[in-house]
Structure formats: C-alpha cells, structure tokens
Amino acid sequence: MTGGQLSVVSCQWAVATWYHGRATGNERGRVWDDRESSFKKRDLGEATVETLLLIDLQNDFLPGGALAVPGGDQTIPVANRLMPRFDLVVATQDWHPANHGSFASQHPGRRVGDIIQLDGLEQMLWPDHCVQGTAGADFSPDLQRDRIRAVFHKGTDPRIDSYSGFYDNSHRRSTGLAEYLREQGVGNLYIMGLATDYCVKFTVLDAVAAGFRVSVVTDGCRAVNLKEGDDQRAFEAMRAAGADLVTSDKMRG
C-alpha cells in the first residue's frame, strides 16, 4: 500500500448516493468530484489501486446507538490508523427510510428478532436504526471522515433490506459500488467494519464474487453475535469464499 494518491483522495468529502435503479450492470459508476463541480468518469487502467472499504461505521451501531454492536467503537481507531496507508478509501452507510420494512415498529404485534417474509425474502426484524438524516445514521464523530473519497448508501428501499454494500438482499439492484471500484482501477480491496456477521460478511461475499482480491481486516470488525460464535462462522464463510483474513498489525505500510 502506498500514500502516493492520498493528497487527491483525502482532501475530498464526496458522497455518491446510489439509489436503487440508478446503477445497473449497464451503467458505469460515477462519483461526485467537487474539484470540478461535475460528475466525472475515470478509468485508471490496470487494477492496481489499493482500497480500504469501511462498512457502516455509524452512530446507531456504536455503544449507545439504537442497534449497538458490542465493541463497535473499537473499530474506529483501526480505521483511522489504516486510512492513510491506502490509495483510496470508500465507505458504506445504512440509509433507511423511516418506514423501512425491516423495522419491527412497522409490523404491529411483531418484536425485534422475529423473522418475517418481506418482499418474498426471509427477514430479521430490527429496531429502527440509521434512519435517513438522523444523528444515528451519521458516521462516528471520531472517524477521520475527510479521508473518505466516496460513500455508498444502502437499504434505501423500504421493501427490502441490504446487508451487502454491493446489492440489496435479493441481488435485484446494484448500489453501484462494484462499478465505481472498477472505474477507479481497484485491485486489492481491504474490508472492515460493522457488523462481522451481517453487513461485513455479505459485502465480502459479493466482493469476491465480483472478482476483487479481498482481504478482511479482522481486528477492524465486530459482530452482533445473536448466536454465540456467529462471528467465527462468518469469518470462516468469508475465507471459504476466497477472502484472506488479516490483522492490521500484519499489514504492510
């Protein structure tokens, strides 16, 4: 990993909001570039860009949040320590409408943890969390967000959840993340964040399937662990799919 492009990457705070239906397999990804105040496409040629992908480092997943992940705040120092080592830093952000169908509050008589059918898929019901425009949906104030080049929203459709940063849970619609990463010439993709057994796992599986060389920064992840050992089972599933498991202290840079 090198810092050669950090002056370009870290000086921007760009939010690429990819609502469902706007980014498909036939439409290449775009990023808002505020240096020129225009949407601009890039092609960096050979896939050599070292990239860190941060998954859902948001207040509602941190201690005191609506869906707090145990130890979730411990991921923030890892992210801050790693970001300067990378050519490109990208993040995902859960971005639910207030009436999202995964919220137990939208189903009278149901409770958090219940399993229902939502738009033809099995769905775990969660407490209301990461509602668009709320403080809970914002990134941790301790995260050095000025180093993040682009942010991809997920879970914007009230009819279906989106654990992965690449697709909704049915794989019907792309967030545009894969297209964007390919445009940027991403080669090695390092992934960390919240939570290991849900959004990190499904993002990693989709990243491997999309052809990226994926490494999971295990000490930069924390799990919900609804069942004891869910975190280790998630790591094993990621490894079996073809991802490498690494720790931040063993990474170059």
130 is catalytic: no
φ, ψ at 118 (rounded to 5°):
-125, 110
Angle in degrees, CA 214, 246, 62, rounded to 5 = 90
Choosing from 56, 60, 206, 231, which is the catalytic residue?
A: 56
In angstroms and rounded to an integer, the radius of gyration of the C-alpha atoms of the chain is 17
154 is catalytic: yes
Choosing from 60, 130, 154, 168, which is the catalytic residue?
A: 154
Choosing from 197, 199, 221, 231, which is the catalytic residue?
A: 199
- Number of other CB atoms surrounding residue 71 within 10 Å: 13
199 is catalytic: yes
Q: What is the 3-state secondary structure (H, E, C) of the chain?
A: CCCCCHHHHCCCCCCCCCCCCCCCCCCCCCEEECCCCEEECCCCCCCCEEEEEEECCEHHHCCCCCCCCCCHHHHHHHHHHHHHHCCEEEEEEECECCCCCCEHHHCCCCCCCCEEEECCEEEECECCCCECCCHHHCECCCCCHHHCCEEEEECCCCCCCCCCCCECCCCCCECCHHHHHHHCCEEEEEEEEECHHHHHHHHHHHHHHCCCEEEEEEEEEECCCCCCCHHHHHHHHHHHHCCEEECHHHCCC
- Catalytic residue list: 56, 154, 199
